[in-house]
Amino acid sequence: MIISKTPYRISFFGGGSDYPAWYKKYGGEVLSTTIDKYIYISCRFSPKYFEKKYRIVWRKIENVQKAKEINHKAVRELLRYLKIKPGLEIHYYGDLPARSGMGSSSCFTVGLMQTLHRIKKIELNKLKLANKSIYFEQKVMKEIVGSQDQTSASFGGFNKITFNRTGLIQVKKILSNKNINKLNDNLILIYTGINRTAHKIANNYINKLTKEKRKHIQRIISYVREGEKILNTGKIDDFGVLLNDAWMEKKALSNLITNSKINEIYDQAIKHGALGGKLLGAGGGGFLLMYMKEKERKFFFKKFKKLVNIPFNFTKTGSEIIFDEITGKQK
């Protein structure tokens, strides 16, 4: 058996510029971090005497004879793409809900990509893992997805990720300091309970770029360097204000990015002392990130008693194999 552990991510600034349709024309940048919430994938060769060759456990339980019969698209296509020999049992476990803006789809791809390569006794470095996952989702699966989630999940840590017009991806680590620790303390992660499909929202603005939308994305990209500067030398409360500015720009990209329920939560958070925030991912639902200090949270959550606040911490490590009984290599 092999078990992988892959972190979810929080993207602060630059989202949207990581889509190839954008960065291969204009270049892009994002500022993001991984957090201590994970996707775990276990994989083993099925015993030969099992009636069915494949057992896939996710929100469904699939027992099928042939890989092409697997309903989970990413599993089915990755088994075919990597030419994995028949007879596998794969289990998926996630700390957070799918379709919630935390990069779960790409996180799953990265974890499964790493696990299946280890099954084949192939080691992938962080860059190869990211690039293979990006290629698989964008070219093989034909999904309308960006390139930051796979990169963040593969590398881990707090990073500025640059997407060059040539397709080259560069990762710059933001070293831990007092401001980053304060930022972690001042952020809250709120689950709105609204699920959405990211590619439908992203397609609405990334592949339908007007001159005005290009201006909004360019301003969102400019916040990446401003945010990095604040983390290194500035007043950390300015980061919260910058989140608000970026959210205003993002909302202008599409009427699918927010809705009345999300706007009410956001506006009330600001009223109760939050300096800024944003919906994570493409928008439309999922998790709302707010910059709100500890003393101000009690009154906000008293008003919104049904909202779930998810405690989290920034992490430094990307996807890793934590158990491997085939090669004997452990974490």
Domain boundaries, the chain: 2-174+315-324, 178-313
* H or E element that contains 309: strand 308-309
Angle between helices 237-251 and 178-186 (to 10 degrees): 60
Phi-psi region of 42 (alpha: psi -120 to 50; beta: other; left: phi over 0): beta
pLDDT given for residue 201 in this prediction: 63
Q: Which pLDDT band holds residue 50 (cuts at 50, 70, 90)?
A: confident
Q: Which CATH superfamily is domain 178-313 in?
A: GHMP kinase, C-terminal domain (3.30.70.890)
Is residue 330 predicted with pLDDT exceeding 70?
A: no
- The confidence score (pLDDT) of residue 202 equals 63
Q: Quick check: helix, strand or coil at residue 316?
A: coil
Give Dmax (Cα) for the chain. 63
- Please, which pLDDT band fits residue 255 given cuts at 50, 70 and 90? confident
CATH class of the domain comprising 2-174+315-324: alpha beta
Q: At residue 285, does pLDDT exceed 80?
A: no
Query: What integer is the mean pLDDT of 239-246?
Result: 96
Answer whether residue 229 shows pLDDT above 70.
yes
Calculate mean pLDDT across residues 41-63: 90
Strand partners, 315: 34
What pLDDT sits at residue 175? Answer: 84
CB of 140 closer than 8 Å to CB of 81: yes
Question: For the whole model, what pTM was predicted?
Answer: 0.93
**Range with the poorest average pLDDT among 53-57, 68-72, 199-203, 296-300:** 199-203
Question: Up-side HSE of residue 97: CA atoms within 13 Å toward CB?
Answer: 16
CA atoms of 262 and 227, how far apart (whole Å):
24
Q: By three-state DSSP, how is residue 17 classified?
A: coil
Q: Do the two domains 2-174+315-324 and 178-313 of this chain adopt the same fold?
A: no
For residue 176, pLDDT over 60 is answered with yes
* pLDDT of 142 higher than 70: yes
b/e map 269-282, b = 16+ CB within 10 Å:
bbebebbbbbbbbb
**206 near 21, Cβ under 8 Å?**
yes
Chain segment 117-137, per-residue pLDDT in tens = 999 999 999 999 999 999 999
Question: Are 192 and 285 spatial neighbours (Cβ–Cβ below 8 Å)?
Answer: yes
Model confidence at 197, pLDDT cuts 50, 70, 90, reads low
Tokens of 34: 């991984």
Q: Which of 99, 265, 269, 246 is nearest to 186 (CA)?
A: 269
CB burial class (10 A; 0-12, 13-18, 19+) of residue 293?
A: middle
Could you tell me how far CA 257 lies from the centroid of its own chain?
17
Residue 282: what pLDDT? 64
Taking only Cα atoms into account, the Rg of the chain, rounded to an integer number of angstroms, comes to 20
Structure tokens at 111: 């974890």
Tokens for 3, please give them. 């078990």
pLDDT(56) > 70: yes
